Amino acid sequence: MTRPMEDAGRFFEAASVAALIIGRDGADRWAVRYQNPAARALVGERGTELERVLAPRLDLPDGEERAWEERLWDRDLTFHVSPCGEKERLCFITDRTEENRRRQESEQASRAALQSALEAANAANRAKSDFLSSMSHDIRTPLNAIVGMTAIARSHLDQRERVADCLEKIDLSSRHLLALINDILDMSRIESGKMTIAPESFAMADFIHSLLAVFRPQADKKRQRVELDFSGLRHEQVRGDELRIQQVLINILSNAVKFTPEEGTISLTVREMAAESKAGHNYSYYEFKVRDTGMGMSPEFLEKVFQPFERASAAARIEGTGLGMTITHNLVKMMNGEIAVESEEGVGTVFTVTLPLERDGDGDVGLSALRNKRVLAADRDEASLKNLREILSDLGMTCDTCGSAHEATELAAAAHTEGRDYFAILLGWRLPVVDGVQACHELRAILGGEVPIFVMSSFEWTLTADEMAKYGVTGFIPKPLFRSRLGQALYAWTDEGRTKAEQDAMNGRESFEGFRVLLVEDNELNREIGVELIEMLGAKADCAEDGKQAVDRFLASPAGTYDLIFMDIQMPVMNGLEAARAIRALPEGRGMRVPIVAMSANAFVEDIRASERAGMNAHVPKPVSLESLTGVMRRFLRRPERGQG
């Protein structure tokens, strides 16, 4: 080895790359003359084999270099050869086995990810195609009923009962169609990030009773047993988005009804749990658990139950959009809650929704007026009595309890004889031997009419006002019992409560006769319906076809002409928001006192907030029902507060 190559060899001793010096001997044969430590580790005892591999590539013209890759000794090697005179070559060998392995693994992972993404995209496209196909059927079904029943009604106008039956079916079909459209719109707004949460104060008792009013008739039609447990509820007045929470629970409960067979069981349990420190000291976690004995779900479907457009094969014949659970899941997450599901095919399903809600007081009306008063309660259900004792104790009252009408009569008679009548008596409707209504009749014979006697039941109350008067029933308290509901019923019979009720009665109205309403609506059919509903309630209705006409008509009318304005939002020339702002901005404040109520298909929270910012007092979503219209008119049409126009 020449002197320069000896110097190069010393330099390569510390190099991490394999370096070799190869020389030609007198027999014109190439042989390895030097290997650095990295080369010795790579080549080992295989030097002769390496010489044989390199020899054909070592004859290089002056100044030319050569590089190539070769698989050798189960390794991926890169060779680089440079000439050092006529008889010596400098060779570098780089082991790229690990590098190539990592690159191949990365490429395989990338291909797998791309394949997975492709499969997911194809699955999503198939799901959307299936969804559109299903939606086409689901939308056409109620539309067909509406069109068909309308035609049948027209051909039987002289048969009142037949027309009434058609109208009932049209109403049911239109409500189902509206539910389908709402699901699609909600999903669209969630995906676009336009869905918002609007916390407001609400009473848990009113919320749950309204929930049961929607859900229980569905279960009753299938003769399903409904079990309720709210004994773990202590703080009833909370702040949260009541409409969104109701939407979540109605979705879950409606599914429980749909997928549970006739005479199955559905239970709703609500518990209040202490909040973790991160939620704040004024918060509680409310757990809503819905359990059913329905068809259940397979483990495979359970993994994708919250994915959009997914429907179990067993549910293919049941109406729905495949979006309900996705909407539910997203709404729960938006409210900082959690949703979990357990299910077993043929056994049933359990959905658990946990939401952090701010406590907003208990709404205990007249708590001090009820304190130290004594109540008698009779019910065959010991759990109901236990819950009742806890509620009354929390209200500062004392309670004697028994399990039958006979015992209640004896206790009430003894107290009456001693001149210590109970403040009130609470009787379960389904008492053994003698029911609560009959027991009330017997108690009246002993006590007279001074002591209020309430009947409690989880069943629908069917007695008319005349029948209640006949048996001496003061009122009905629905089960499950809530602190606020029970407190309000009892408070009404305190001296303070009676005074308040008399004052409220003086401020109330029986009808809307004598009031004048301005209806602003660009759609001719909607104007016709609106005028008919308003005049059915006794008020007089004038119309405007757009916002500008409404402002002009209001200006042209004497002050005090209109007591209320119903305003559509989307209209030509001038929309409802612009019209409301224009009326509120009229000189001398003449447009400030008249209530303006939005009546629009724009029914999302953001739309309601926009109407409020424009100066409107309330919002009625379309389609408008007689009940919702009555509620709004009752709220705003009070003679002492008539609007100025």
**pLDDT tens profile 232-290:** 677 888 899 888 898 899 889 988 998 999 999 999 999 888 765 444 468 899 999 99
Those residues with Cβ within 8 angstroms of residue 599's Cβ, 6 or more apart along the chain or in another chain: 519, 521, 530, 566, 567, 568, 620, 622, 624
**Bigger pLDDT: 597 or 174?**
597
Mean pLDDT value across residues 136-149: 76
pLDDT score of 604 more than 60: yes
pLDDT score of 2 more than 80: no
**Bigger pLDDT: 363 or 638?**
638
Mean pLDDT value across residues 606-632: 83
Cα distance between residue 521 and residue 545, in whole Å:
5
Q: Given this model, what pLDDT does residue 196 score?
A: 77
Q: Given this model, what pLDDT does residue 566 score?
A: 95
The 3 state secondary structure assigned to 398-458 is EEEEECCHHHHHHHHHHHHHCCCCCCEEEEECCCCCCCHHHHHHHHHHHHCCCCCEEEEEC
| Contact status, residue 551 vs residue 574, Cβ threshold 8 Å | yes
Structure token pair of residue 162:
């037949």
Least confident of 245-259, 497-511, 554-568: 497-511
Grade residue 629 by pLDDT with cuts at 50, 70 and 90: confident
Question: Given CA atoms 517, 518, 521, 522 in this order, what sign does their dihedral have?
Answer: positive
Query: Is the bond preceding residue 432 a cis peptide, omega within 30 degrees?
Result: no
pLDDT score of 576 more than 90: yes
Q: Given this model, what pLDDT does residue 220 score?
A: 86
Mean pLDDT value across residues 318-322: 54
Mean pLDDT value across residues 102-130: 84
pLDDT score of 315 more than 80: no
Q: Given this model, what pLDDT does residue 500 score?
A: 63
The separation between CA 297 and the C-alpha centre of its own chain, rounded to angstroms, equals 21
| Contact status, residue 637 vs residue 615, Cβ threshold 8 Å | no
Cα distance between residue 64 and residue 539, in whole Å:
105
Q: What percent of the chain has pLDDT above 90?
A: 27
Q: Given this model, what pLDDT does residue 636 score?
A: 87
Radius of gyration of the chain (CA): 40
Cα distance between residue 510 and residue 280, in whole Å:
46
Mean pLDDT value across residues 342-360: 92
Phi, psi of 286 (to 5 degrees): -110, 120
Tell me the CB-side half-sphere exposure of residue 280, using CA atoms within 13 A.
6
Tell me the CB-side half-sphere exposure of residue 539, using CA atoms within 13 A.
30
Cα distance between residue 160 and residue 147, in whole Å:
19
Q: Given this model, what pLDDT does residue 469 score?
A: 79
Structure token pair of residue 267:
């239970």
pTM equals 0.52
pLDDT score of 131 more than 70: no
- Tallying the residues shown for the chain, one arrives at 645
| Contact status, residue 483 vs residue 236, Cβ threshold 8 Å | yes
Neighbour count for residue 299 (Cβ, 10 Å):
9
Q: Given this model, what pLDDT does residue 383 score?
A: 77
Q: Given this model, what pLDDT does residue 310 score?
A: 57
Structure token pair of residue 268:
């709703």
State the pairing for strand pair 283-292/348-359: antiparallel
Cα distance between residue 453 and residue 425, in whole Å:
5
Cα distance between residue 366 and residue 490, in whole Å:
9
Structure token pair of residue 231:
């004994």
Mean pLDDT over the full length of the chain: 83
Q: Given this model, what pLDDT does residue 642 score?
A: 39
Those residues with Cβ within 8 angstroms of residue 344's Cβ, 6 or more apart along the chain or in another chain: 296
Tell me the CB-side half-sphere exposure of residue 446, using CA atoms within 13 A.
21
- In the DSSP assignment, the letter for residue 480 is S
Q: Which of 355, 394, 362, 356 is nearest to 235 (CA)?
A: 362
Q: What is the dihedral of CA 490, 496, 499, 505, to 10 degrees?
A: -40
pLDDT score of 612 more than 80: yes
3-state secondary structure at position 621 = strand
pLDDT score of 504 more than 70: no
Q: Which of 541, 537, 587 is nearest to 566 (CA)?
A: 541
Q: Given this model, what pLDDT does residue 471 score?
A: 83
For 146-185, write each residue's pLDDT tens digit: 888 898 899 889 888 889 888 988 887 887 787 777 777 7
Grade residue 14 by pLDDT with cuts at 50, 70 and 90: confident
Those residues with Cβ within 8 angstroms of residue 467's Cβ, 6 or more apart along the chain or in another chain: 473
Least confident of 4-18, 44-58, 409-423, 612-626: 4-18
Question: Assign residue 60 a region: left if phi > 0, alpha if psi is -120 to 50, beta otherwise?
Answer: beta
Least confident of 65-69, 340-344, 381-385: 381-385
Q: Which residue segments constitute the domains of the chain, with CATH numbers given?
A: 3-95 (3.30.450.20), 100-191 (1.10.287.130), 201-359 (3.30.565.10), 367-507 (3.40.50.2300), 516-641 (3.40.50.2300)
Kind and range of the H or E run holding 476: strand 475-478
For 398-449, write each residue's pLDDT tens digit: 999 999 999 999 999 999 999 999 999 999 888 887 888 888 988 988 888 8
Phi, psi of 194 (to 5 degrees): -95, -5
Phi, psi of 45 (to 5 degrees): -90, 15
Q: Which of 523, 538, 608 is nearest to 570 (CA)?
A: 523
Grade residue 506 by pLDDT with cuts at 50, 70 and 90: very low
Q: Which of 194, 196, 214, 187 is nearest to 325 (CA)?
A: 187
pLDDT score of 640 more than 80: no
Structure token pair of residue 156:
């039987």
| Contact status, residue 472 vs residue 453, Cβ threshold 8 Å | yes
The separation between CA 74 and the C-alpha centre of its own chain, rounded to angstroms, equals 60
